[in-house]
Structure formats: structure tokens, C-alpha cells
Amino acid sequence: MGKPKNNQRQISKLLKRSSKHLKLFQDNNTCESSLTDNSSKPAYENNKIRPGLYIVATPIGNARDITLRALDILQSADVVVCEDTRVTSKLLAIYNITRPLISYHEHNSTFAGPKIIKRLKLGEIVALVSDAGTPLISDPGFRLVQSCAKEKIYATHIPGASSILTSLVLAGLPTDKFFFAGYPPNKAGKRSNFFEHFKFIPATLIFLESPKRLARSLVDMARVFGPREAALARELTKKFEEIRKGSLIDLRNYYLETSVPKGEITILVSPPLANETEPTREEMEHLLNKALDSSTLKDAVSEVTLATGAPKRVVYTHAIKLISQKKE
């Protein structure tokens, strides 16, 4: 993240101005919502920030995409909990904020989580951030929120940037219904089954992927979802932001032929086409009975999977039940 021009001076003025008008936020308590049972109390009490867990959204690329409330909390926190201390320290340095940092991620959450809750019980202000964007999306932060609810510790969210919503807004796909599915598995077999699981969901699908695995995932997605319209977003809010649109077939072909792109990637897939309908149980059984009469279990499952577009494991489960019924 590049350092904005004259940023230190601008942010200092803004922070002073926001502090002067803090009373305005206190009076409008409806703007403060708690994630625990203590929602009746505001986050600001007597011009002081209330102790508790603050889930703070940070920029996803452009360092200027941060809110005044986020800066207030980060400046006032007793400790900032983050994925990677190196990444967060760079962001805080841009705004001349120096706070203690604690690493909290999937590999140490079992060990670090109780220590963070202990600090919250002692009345500290704890800010939770991710490397970029809104915390708890594909990270273990939800466990802290669960613990806060259990221990009746105040917790609230400071909203801001999100790569998921930003990519959805720019994709040009339906936004009335969308489904976030996260990262696909690394292994090819599991990845195909993963995509098949979402095939008939009547919503725009949103996936995250790393640059090195992108081409392989697009191959599997094109096989499962066919020629649906899709969009690929990367480097959002940065200088080289890219939103590439087209069918999954087009995107697959393009990224098979080009070099590995940079930056974390969001892939969006349009809802099922009009001719993509999930087969009924009766239709599935009819096709399987017919296929099993002349083929092995393996071949029958493959044949019906190809004919219906249903997930292979679903077809297999139906086939096993039919075979068991015939034996009885």
C-alpha cells in the first residue's frame, strides 16, 4: 500500500475533528450496534471508547479507504489483533499509529484465542483486523466473537472495505441474491466435488482463489458450470485493478494461455441458466434404473451425472440405495 501525499497532516486534522464531534455519535446511539447481549449501551461512554472487541475493516488495496471510526479505534486500542503483524504494522505506520500487535490466525487461534479473551475480561480495548478488508471472512475471528457472546463481553463491528462486495458491485452479475463459498480445496478431486455442491444454488456464486491455483480452478469450474457468465476481479482499488468478464469458457482459455496473475482473486459466477434444473428424485431413479440394467455401478453413475448435471456423490448415493432395494 503506497503512502498518500501529505497523509500524516491530513489524518491528524481529521482525527482531531472527529474527536471534537464525538458527542454527536454518542447522542445517536442507534448507529452503534453490539454483537452481544449488551447492545443497549453505546460504544462511546463519557467521551471514552468502551472496553471490548472491535472488529475493524481495513483497506483492501488503497490505504485511503479507511474510515474515521476505524482510525479512532486503532489509535485507542490497548492491542491490535491481526493475521500478520508485518502487514498491519505497515498500515498503522501510514497513519502514524503505534500500538502493540498480537498475531491471530488459523494456525495459532487455539493458543492465542484464550489469551485475547483474558485481556478483554480485564477491560481492555481490543481491535481485530485482517490483512485486508473485513475480518472473519475466511479467517478464525468468528471464534473470538463466539467467546465474547458466551462471556458477555462487548463486541461490535466497524464496517468498511470488502473485496467480496466490491467485486460483486463491479461484476455486472445479479446482486439480488449471492452466495459466498470461500476458497476451493487444493486437490483436484475434492475441488470438482466442491463446485458441484453449488451448481444449482439460484444465486450469483462468489469464490476466492490464489494466483497459482487460478487456471486449475477455472478448468474445473468450466466443466461443472459450463458456459455461464462470470467475472474475475483482482488488485481491487489498486493501480492495476482488473475486472475481466466473459463466459467461464473464455476466462478458462485466457488464463491457461497467460502468465500467472498477481494479487488475491475473486471469481463470480452467474446463477444457473434456464435449462439448468436439478433433477427430481423420480427422474434420478428412472435414469439410474435404466443405466444399471446395462452398465456397472461406476459407469451408470458417470452416465447419469453427465446427463443430469447433478453432483456425482449425490448420484452415487441414489445408485447405492437402488441397488440395496433390489437386493431386499
Task: Kindly state whether residues 23 and 153 are assigned to the same domain.
Answer: yes
What whole-number distance in Å separates Cα of residue 103 and Cα of residue 82?
5
Do 113 and 150 touch, CB atoms closer than 8 A? Answer: no
Per-residue tens of pLDDT for the chain, all 328 residues:
445 555 566 666 655 555 544 444 444 443 444 454 444 455 666 568 999 999 999 999 999 999 999 999 999 999 999 999 999 999 999 999 999 999 999 999 999 999 999 999 999 999 999 999 999 998 899 999 999 999 999 999 999 999 999 999 999 999 999 999 999 999 988 998 899 889 889 999 999 999 999 999 999 999 999 999 999 999 999 999 999 999 999 999 999 999 999 988 999 999 998 777 777 777 788 888 888 888 889 888 888 887 677 778 888 888 888 888 877 6
Provide the number of structural domains found in the chain. Answer: 3
Give domain status of residue 1, yes or no: no
Do 51 and 152 touch, CB atoms closer than 8 A? Answer: no
Give domain status of residue 34, yes or no: yes
pLDDT of residue 324: 84
Task: Kindly state whether residues 23 and 131 are assigned to the same domain.
Answer: yes
Task: Kindly state whether residues 79 and 147 are assigned to the same domain.
Answer: yes
Task: Kindly state whether residues 143 and 287 are assigned to the same domain.
Answer: no
Give domain status of residue 64, yes or no: yes
Task: Kindly state whether residues 218 and 101 are assigned to the same domain.
Answer: no
Cβ atoms within 10 A of the Cβ of 57, count?
23
**Last residue of one domain, picked from the residues 161, 192, 208:** 161
Do 53 and 154 touch, CB atoms closer than 8 A? Answer: yes
Task: Kindly state whether residues 43 and 85 are assigned to the same domain.
Answer: yes
What whole-number distance in Å separates Cα of residue 13 and Cα of residue 153?
33
Task: Kindly state whether residues 25 and 129 are assigned to the same domain.
Answer: yes
Domain span at residue 293 reads 281-327
**Last residue of one domain, picked from the residues 139, 161, 183:** 161
**Last residue of one domain, picked from the residues 161, 182, 202:** 161
Task: Specify the DSSP element, H or E, that contains 179.
Answer: strand 178-182
pLDDT of residue 48: 84
Give the CATH number for residue 112.
3.40.1010.10
Give domain status of residue 38, yes or no: yes
Give domain status of residue 252, yes or no: yes
Task: Kindly state whether residues 25 and 136 are assigned to the same domain.
Answer: yes
Among the listed residues 71, 72, 76, the one whose alpha carbon sits nearest the alpha carbon of residue 59: 71
pLDDT of residue 27: 42
The structure's pTM equals 0.75
Task: Kindly state whether residues 29 and 94 are assigned to the same domain.
Answer: yes
Give domain status of residue 128, yes or no: yes
